[in-house]
Amino acid sequence: MPHSVEAAFLEAQAAEARFVIVRGRLSFHANRLPKADMNNQQATPEMTEIKAKLTGKSLSLGGFTTPYNKPVTLAVACFGPWCANVPEGSDVLAFVELGPDGGRVATNPCGGYLFPTPTAKTIRAIKGCFVGKDCKPVR
């Protein structure tokens, strides 16, 4: 089951890695997304990394105000025959892990750190978590 943006925030906050939260558009070659072969599930890759570009605004205390326009690595995981569905070019809320080789956005069939087409409720929730308001994961 997909986890909530609150759960993702708390997980990222507890991690040793540093993250920036971005709302924007994720551009990449959709034909590079992994596809499960239902007749040969063992051949489904566990992880596929795709070069992408994320353009939008990152979250600060004032909201999504800081311009963000950078290349990122989109890390798409598959669990058995299920692979993350990532819509190319749509509005996303992404937790970008900052590393020595640039930003990385990890997603999996349950959501990971990528939330396609975030609702107003999702945006309010992540803003609240960021400024220290109640941030309880939704189950």
63 φψ region: left (φ > 0), alpha (ψ -120 to 50), beta (else) = left
Q: Domains of the chain (ranges plus CATH)?
A: 5-29+44-128 (2.40.50)
Model's pTM, two decimal places?
0.91
pLDDT for the residue numbered 58: 98
Per the structure block, which two tokens stand in for 57? 């605004």
pLDDT for the residue numbered 1: 47
Residue 46: pLDDT band with limits 50, 70, 90: confident
Kindly report, residue by residue over 107-132, the tens digit of the pLDDT: 998 878 999 999 999 999 999 999 99
Share of the chain above pLDDT 70, in %: 96
Least confident span in 1-5, 8-12, 73-77: 1-5
Instruction: For the chain, give the mean pLDDT.
Output: 90
Instruction: Report the pLDDT averaged over residues 42-61.
Output: 90
Q: Which residues pair with 97 in a beta bridge?
A: 19, 104
What does the alpha-carbon distance between residue 38 and residue 47 come to, in Å, rounded to a whole number? 17
